[in-house]
Structure 1
């Protein structure tokens, strides 16, 4: 128990540091012409939120953004007993549940990525996530029998969506949806849309490993986004990516993990064998226009590995990816521009 509490503490520390080094990089590169942003941090959707508004922003806007986050969390969190997703799960195998347009849109997009990845990303992975519970005080190494039972409940084809009536039903009892792999991306998009509606043209939105760089810096330069070094728990970056009006989402084995008898079990679980995905990858970073797509693809591409992941990402329009292997080899897809490695321990591969 003490070990798990320590892991959770370390995880929160990593998130805090990771959310800070993006702004540190940009502050170093910006010079004296950039005014200090209006900023605020909070905790929603099981992650630290950090918002910085660099032009036309007000504290009232950030407060409204936190209201938006609280609303999304209240609808989609499996940790809130009366959320829409929790209600869907508690009615599995029994009734269809009417949901809001927000929840319906995220579930539909989750279904899209479940199909696109042939189930490597599966929004019905809830029973497996709850079984391992990595990132909480209750994290544990399950028995094979427990894993087998959970695997029998994972099947995205058994999610019935009635768009006309805005209802969702899980066909089998004890199935459960978990939107943890995609809801933060939807939230980031909603926050960016809100800022755009308020004529804010320069902002950084950070939801843990999910960054939305709205517009460009106030001096017109691209944002410099540090890509987390997946071998370092201190929030250091190994490369810098320059972007404007893009979202950058990273999934990696360093985010949440469980240690048992010296062995590390990370939180990206395979819906096929029930254990953490093991394919020589340490992290995947997705660059896209929409954060919900980057969020869903980051888990999907990580699960597929370098070869199949590159094949899929190169077949899609408007998205690109950066892969880091256990050997500190770096692979990039087509469309990755303005990317430079700052740590010579890492090698860019052809």
Structure 2
């Protein structure tokens, strides 16, 4: 019988506070394993840990190929596949621009346009070379670097679901800071209700989603932002084509999918591409849905979420047929 009370653990990893919850006899041991797995993934995928696979690739950019963990190799290979499918609107070689803008730091400010133009030339996912036979990886040019911030938590979410299953857990969810994964339904059989943060109103929601066995990832301009000397607000999502924060007309993108890693990538790609091109891309991914809010705070919901999305009061939305 499933315990009426969940096991619960929190951890700080991958630049955010994560919350894990599971039900059942093995729930406590399961969440211990989940926390260990997330820490392990951070140790190989974070570019802020000098000994990680990603850091070693970046340190050897333009010089040497680096042998990496087969798992890292597979993540990078899938990243390149998705970058191509998204026509470069998702690009893991964005790191030099992230560094230039000081994203994630208290000094997040707009750099001089000349420097943006120079650094932009370093961003090109095609310059990440993978040798499948040796499992070696290299970047073509010095100063290039990769950043898995747009896919790493998504991959971690998929790994967490596997651990839930390995422990025989049938009801669980994890919140990885903007990324949510759910296994099964609640213990009473009803769907999980996942809130979607309003990008402009603190402690307010656009609405909620009723989901079972789904991954939900949101990218929004609320997460990190700064103001320039003229008071213009810049958010943290950089357009790999321009080198500047995205101005696509969208302020929030939520993706609902069976695969957390895919959802992570698409939330960024659609944010960059805007509603029309983004929804066209979404058609390439079966069983994948979206909730979009534009700069006028109009909300658009893909038809597969009809009946599953409940808007907050005063929020009107349109179903995209």
Q: Give CA-to-partner distance per residue, 1:40-93, whole Å, 9 cap, x none.
A: 111101111100112234323222211111111010111111111010001011
Higher relative contact order structure (alpha carbons within 8 Å, sequence separation ≥ 6): 1
Q: How far did 1:228 drift?
A: 1.1
Asked if the contact 1:134–1:258 (Cα under 8 Å) also holds between the matched residues in 2, the reply is no
SS in 2 for 1:125: helix
Asked if the contact 2:216–2:263 (Cα under 8 Å) also holds between the matched residues in 1, the reply is yes
Partner of 2:131: 162
Q: Within 5 Å, give how 1:338-349 maps onto structure 2.
A: 338-348=308-318
Partner of 1:316: 285
Q: Distance in 2 between matches of 1:161 and 1:334?
A: 38
Asked if the contact 2:33–2:163 (Cα under 8 Å) also holds between the matched residues in 1, the reply is no
Asked if the contact 2:150–2:264 (Cα under 8 Å) also holds between the matched residues in 1, the reply is yes
Runs of 4+ in structure 1 over 6 Å off: none
Q: Distance in 2 between matches of 1:349 and 1:192?
A: 30
Partner of 1:5: none
Q: How far did 1:349 drift?
A: 5.3
Q: Give CA-to-partner distance per residue, 1:155-202, whole Å, 9 cap, x none.
A: 111111112211111011111001000000000110110110111010
TM-score using structure 1 length: 0.87
Q: How far did 1:256 drift?
A: 1.0
Q: Which residue, out of 17, 20, 30, partners 1:48? A: 17
Partner of 2:120: 151
Partner of 1:247: 215
SS in 1 for 2:304: coil
Asked if the contact 2:237–2:246 (Cα under 8 Å) also holds between the matched residues in 1, the reply is yes
Q: How far did 1:264 drift?
A: 1.2
TM-score using structure 2 length: 0.95
Q: Distance in 1 between matches of 2:146 and 2:240?
A: 13
Q: How far did 1:326 drift?
A: 1.4
Q: Distance in 2 between matches of 1:334 and 1:349?
A: 6
SS in 1 for 2:217: strand
SS in 2 for 1:278: coil
Q: Give CA-to-partner distance per residue, 1:204-262, whole Å, 9 cap, x none.
A: 1110000001110001111111111111122x212111110000000000011122232
Q: CA RMSD in A?
A: 1.5
In the alignment, structure 1 residue 141 sits paired with structure 2 residue 110: yes
Q: How far did 1:339 drift?
A: 1.2
Between 1:173-182 and 1:95-104, the stretch displaced more is: 95-104
Asked if the contact 2:303–2:319 (Cα under 8 Å) also holds between the matched residues in 1, the reply is no
Q: Distance in 2 between matches of 1:150 and 1:110?
A: 21
Asked if the contact 1:228–1:237 (Cα under 8 Å) also holds between the matched residues in 2, the reply is yes
Q: Within 5 Å, give how 1:9-48 maps onto structure 2.
A: 35-48=4-17
Partner of 1:172: 141
Q: Which has the higher helix share?
A: 1
Structure 1, unmatched stretches of 5+, are 1-32
Q: How far did 1:272 drift?
A: 1.3
Q: How far did 1:348 drift?
A: 2.5
Partner of 1:183: 152
Between 1:335-344 and 1:315-324, the stretch displaced more is: 335-344
Q: Within 5 Å, give how 1:59-208 maps onto structure 2.
A: 59-208=28-177
Partner of 2:183: 214
Asked if the contact 1:182–1:295 (Cα under 8 Å) also holds between the matched residues in 2, the reply is yes
Q: How far did 1:299 drift?
A: 0.3
Structure 2, unmatched stretches of 5+, are none
